Each structure stands twice: as C-alpha cells, then as structure tokens.
Structure 1
Amino acid sequence: MTSNLRGGLAALALLAGAMPAAAQTVEFTLINNSARALHYFYTSPSTDTNWGYDLLGDDGILESGYQGTVTIGDGSDQCEYDFKFVMDDSSETVISGVDICSLNEYTIYD
C-alpha cells in the first residue's frame, strides 16, 4: 500500500508541474522621480496586444517626488509585463519586459 501511495504522489507531482501557474496579484511601490506628474499608468502582459485599465483610477495622479503602491491583479499568470506611463504633458513612455514577479519597486525618471 505504501508503494501505491508513493507512486500516486509522484504522478500527482508530475501533473502539478505540467499545469499552468495560478493567477497572481502583485504589489510594488511606484516612485515618481520625474519632473512631471503621472496621470495614467497602464500595464499588460507582454504577450498581450491590449493595455489594461488605468491603475491610477479615475482621479489618481502620482505627483513628482511621490510614491504609491500599485496592485496588478488582472488574473494573468505571466511575470513579464509592459508598462505605459502618460505624464501631465501627455508625453508617453512604454517600458517592455518588466518582471513583475520579482519587482519590489519601480522608479520613473525623466
């Protein structure tokens, strides 16, 4: 009986390794060290061609010199994300391939 249990556990472990990772929620600190206020912050998995919703919300603005906590909880199991920042002067910056799974903070510069 013990060998059957070990064999079943080994098969279960192999099956679990083949399954996709579970959806995740990631939090990190976003620091605005630019000279301008951040008005919109969009993210998407790098494999997606569409931007998600604005993570700052309808009335959210991250002023120059300030920081805040960002939560990405879009249901994706991906670690590699693209970021799009839209500043108060309507300038846009896109950063590709950010590993959000190992990210503790991200700083915006001019």
Structure 2
Amino acid sequence: MAEPGPARGPAAPDGALSPAPMAEKLNPNMGPEAASVPCAARLGFASKLRSTIPKQAEEMKKFNAALVAAAVALCVSTPALAEDLVFTLKNGTHSVLNNFYTSPVGVNAWEDDVFGDQVLEPGESMEITIADGRSVCDYDMRFEFQGDELDTTTDTQNLCELGEYTIHE
C-alpha cells in the first residue's frame, strides 16, 4: 500500500480528494462549500461565458447566412456580366456598305460607325465585335450604302443569339 502524502483534505464521496483545504488557503474567507463551485463561477466568468456563447453562435449563423447569400448572388449575377457581342455580318447586296451603326434598343442616338475606315464590299463578310460593356442583347442597326442605289436600312436584332446577319436589298 502506498504511503500517504501530505494531507489534502477529506475524500469526496467518489473517492477523490476534496479541494476545500486548498480553497481555504487561497482565500480564508471562503468556506468548504466554495471549493465545490468551479473557479470560473467564483470569479464571475461562468455567467459571462454562458451568455456570450449563444451570442457568438447567433453571429456565426448570421455570418454564414450572409456568406451563402453572397455566393448565390455571385452565381446568379454572373450571366448578367457584360460580354462582347460577336457575329458575322455579310453584305448580300450589290452595293458597297459604307457605314454600320448600332445602338441598344431605347437609346435615341447611334454609336460610332462600327466599320471605322473600312467598308464591306458586295458578297463579302466581316466579323463584327461590339464591346460596349453593356449587358443588353437587343440592338438597333443602321446600314448606309455607297451611292443612291439603296436606301439607308434599319433593323432590330438580338445580337446575343445572332451568329450571322446578312443584309439584303
């Protein structure tokens, strides 16, 4: 049998030694009943700790909900980001196409000439890129021909779905 060590106080009902004498040494004003109260409770931390944990859990739930909402918004808004509109324009007339203007439907002014210094000869095709940074698809188009053979022509198309557009007489 082991030799008894220094006195630690009476044994607790479960056989463990009671911390009561130690508590009395630390604070002589405390009675033996104070030893059974956890240290955090004696210092007043337990009630603060218990009241803080639900608040932190609630804040974490709010943060997680906001994070999920932001991720969903990003996924949903991605298709709405502006992309360049690219299609092939073919001159199916017998006249030179001098100028080609576009403007989103509802805008009352034409954008700059898409051709710049170029023209589109009869029967030729040109890849057109409209990189105006808008996220609209429906555009008004204006075609101006060389000479008096053909009148200026306008049309409205969904350029997001358009792969090729042929202007006819």
Q: TM-score interval w.r.t. the shorter chain?
A: 0.7 to 0.9
Q: Which has the bigger relative contact order, CA under 8 A and spacing at least 6?
A: 1
Q: Is 1:71 matched with 2:126?
A: no
What percent of counterpart residues are identical?
A: 36
Structure 1 CA distance, aligned partners of 2:163 and 2:79? 24
SS of the residue corresponding to residue 101 of structure 1 reads: coil
In structure 2, relative to structure 1, the CA distance for the partners of 1:31 and 1:54 (3 Å cut) is: same
Q: Describe how 1:94-105 pairs up with structure 2 within 5 A.
A: 94-96=154-156, 98-105=157-164
Describe how 1:1-110 pairs up with structure 2 within 5 A.
4=61, 7-8=65-66, 10-12=68-70, 13-14=72-73, 17=76, 21-58=80-117, 60-89=118-147, 91-96=151-156, 98-110=157-169
Q: Which has more strand, going by share of residues? A: 1
User: TM-score, normalised on structure 1?
Assistant: 0.83
- After TM superposition, what 4+ stretches of structure 1 lie above 6 angstroms from structure 2? none
Partners of 2:125 and 2:101 in 1: CA distance: 16
User: Any idea what SS the aligned residue of 2:160 has?
Assistant: helix
Q: By percentage of residues, which structure has more helix? A: 2
Unaligned runs of 5+ in 2: 1-56
Matched positions, count: 107
RMSD in angstroms over aligned alpha carbons?
Answer: 2.6
Greater CA radius of gyration, 1 or 2? 2
